[in-house]
Structure 1
Amino acid sequence: MADSNWRVRAAGAADADALSLVASATFLDTYAGSLDGSDMVAHCAANNRPEKFAGWIADRSDAVTIAEIIPGFAPVGYAVLTSTVDLPVTPEPGDIELRRIYTLSRMRGSGLGPALMQHVLDDSARLSCRRILLGVWGENHRAHRFYERQGFTVVGTRQFRVGTVVHDDLVYARTVV
């Protein structure tokens, strides 16, 4: 999918380094000022390694999407769908977790977020999934509004640790049509 200044595509093995970079950049961009800086850096170092993205890309039951700016194709967003659901909900056959979906804040209003979500929906259907689940920080009201506009509803809560602090998250679900 493309627009005048960005494109969204399936990530390949060669994208693991770019995904690692954009994952840390978007996490810091999203939460700077809301979470402790040293906790954020430690979280990114532990969870955004290229090897983690390479594993998801290599797994045929997962799907990774990268968003790039045009011209130059620098990464500005991404999404990760994983067949391993790690949320405190009763799993149903055909569930998949939207583990991550982020864009840099400069991309707000560009249509990139909805385009990434459409790619997620298309990948979920391609993988024969019936329901997408995701967890989001309870204080991230911008994300709540985005997911609700995309047809997600709250189905539970969880606790999520970043560094030494445990945060309350909402768990959302949406049927794949």
Structure 2
Amino acid sequence: MAENIQLKKISINEIDQLKRIGQQTFYETFSESNSEENMKEYLEKGFSNEKLTAELSDKNSEFYFATLNDEVIGYLKINFGPSQTELKNDKTLEIERIYVSKEFHGKKVGQLLYEKAIEIAKQKNSEYVWLGVWEENHRALGFYRKNGFVEFDKHIFRLGNEEQTDLMMKLKLSN
């Protein structure tokens, strides 16, 4: 199945599809562990048209869809330079989001999106790729550890009125 999955860079014209897959996958990933109220607030603010338009227009961020038979089944967001959420230097690339819709978990979609991010990091001569993962998201933590990432710090992520700890992880690239 993985061979039929296409990756494509997202343009501003696809904002509606991005909003849909963004909200759907965030909800699937975190709704069991968070209050309905906090989830609702984050889904509205985090995926508002204004916020997505700004992100899609940022020259230091890129989004990619994973599609199967023209259906969007996952997406990737990467940031470089000053658009990184932390470590704002030119030697690093941030994977801000890799999300795959639940029915496609375990089908290598996340790995394809991840490999795309690594390919771009190498093109940009990045020394490190880094990201933040919620400490309770064991599936994601296992995925990144399997791909060679190591923890180097923590930071707080606010979801509504709750503070959660993200583990920051990085991978040194050998160019």
TM-score w.r.t. length of structure 2: 0.88
Cα deviation, residue 128, structure 1: 3.4
* Residue matched to 1:162: 159
- How far, CA to CA, are the matches of 2:88 and 2:151 in structure 1? 15
AA of the residue aligned to 2:19: S
AA of the residue aligned to 2:93: I
Supply the RMSD in Å over aligned alpha carbons. Answer: 1.8
Cα deviation, residue 154, structure 1: 0.5
* Residue matched to 2:42: 43
- How far, CA to CA, are the matches of 2:161 and 2:127 in structure 1? 35
- How far, CA to CA, are the matches of 1:74 and 1:39 in structure 2? 29
What are structure 2's unaligned runs of at least 5 residues? Answer: none
Q: Residue 114 of structure 2 is aligned with which of 105, 117, 121?
A: 117
Q: Residue 143 of structure 2 is aligned with which of 123, 129, 146?
A: 146
Cα deviation, residue 42, structure 1: 0.7
TM-score w.r.t. length of structure 1: 0.88
Cα deviation, residue 139, structure 1: 0.5
Counterparts of residues 3-152 of structure 1 (less than 5 Å): 3-4=3-4, 6-70=5-69, 73-83=70-80, 84-87=83-86, 92-152=89-149
For residues 94 and 111 of structure 1, do their structure 2 counterparts lie closer, same or farther at Cα, with a shift above 3 Å needed? same
- How far, CA to CA, are the matches of 2:22 and 2:7 in structure 1? 15
Cα deviation, residue 167, structure 1: 0.6
Cα deviation, residue 153, structure 1: 0.8
* Residue matched to 1:172: 169
Q: SS of the residue aligned with 1:120? A: helix
For residues 137 and 64 of structure 1, do their structure 2 counterparts lie closer, same or farther at Cα, with a shift above 3 Å needed? same
- How far, CA to CA, are the matches of 2:53 and 2:91 in structure 1? 23
What are structure 1's unaligned runs of at least 5 residues? Answer: none
Aligned sequence identity (%): 23
Cα deviation, residue 52, structure 1: 2.9
**Alignment length, in residue pairs?**
171
